[in-house]
Amino acid sequence: MKKISLIILITCISITFLLNVAMPEFAGKMKHNISSMNILYSYSVTKTFSEQTHDTIEMASVPSGKTETRDADFRNDVKLEGTPLNIKSVVKEHLNKPQAYKTKEKLTGPEKGFSYRTYYLTKNYDKGRYTVIRTNKITGKEKVYAGTYYEPSTQDPIVKWSRDEK
């Protein structure tokens, strides 16, 4: 059985090499599919939510009676801690996709009685632990990886808000 698996592995590697050399235009189209086929390993990913965290950014502070126009371009990306490079993409496949916020807007100062209005943007993250079990398809040997993830929250990944100050 090990001999057959080794032959299959060598055949797949040979086909990949031939596609890259003999037919590079075809290989470019197939590259993602070939690389995403886990030839040697299979992966089992488990994630456990622990808490919601956030990162708040002050966008602008506008005085009373004034108006400003601002461009805002923010991204709420996945963050991983304690993750080896060889499994980062495996973990990211199981997390929420990054969220983008891009706008150009008019920001106004507060009503009378307040000195200024501060505008904020809060990026919300779901924090938790992940465990990846990588199994070698030929030998059956397993290796366990664990770490911390932060993914954009499924509810309100990016929230815009303001506060009037005296």
Residue 154: what residue type?
Answer: T
* Mean pLDDT of the region 92-109: 91
Alpha helices per DSSP H over the chain: 2-22, 24-36, 85-92
Tens of pLDDT, residue by residue over 38-78, are: 789 999 999 999 999 999 999 999 999 999 999 888 888 99
The dihedral sign for the CA sequence 129, 134, 140, 141: negative
β-bridge pairing 116-136 and 41-63? antiparallel
Would the pTM count as exceeding 0.85?
no
pLDDT classification of 11: cutoffs 50, 70, 90: low
Q: Where are the domains of the chain?
A: 1-39, 40-165
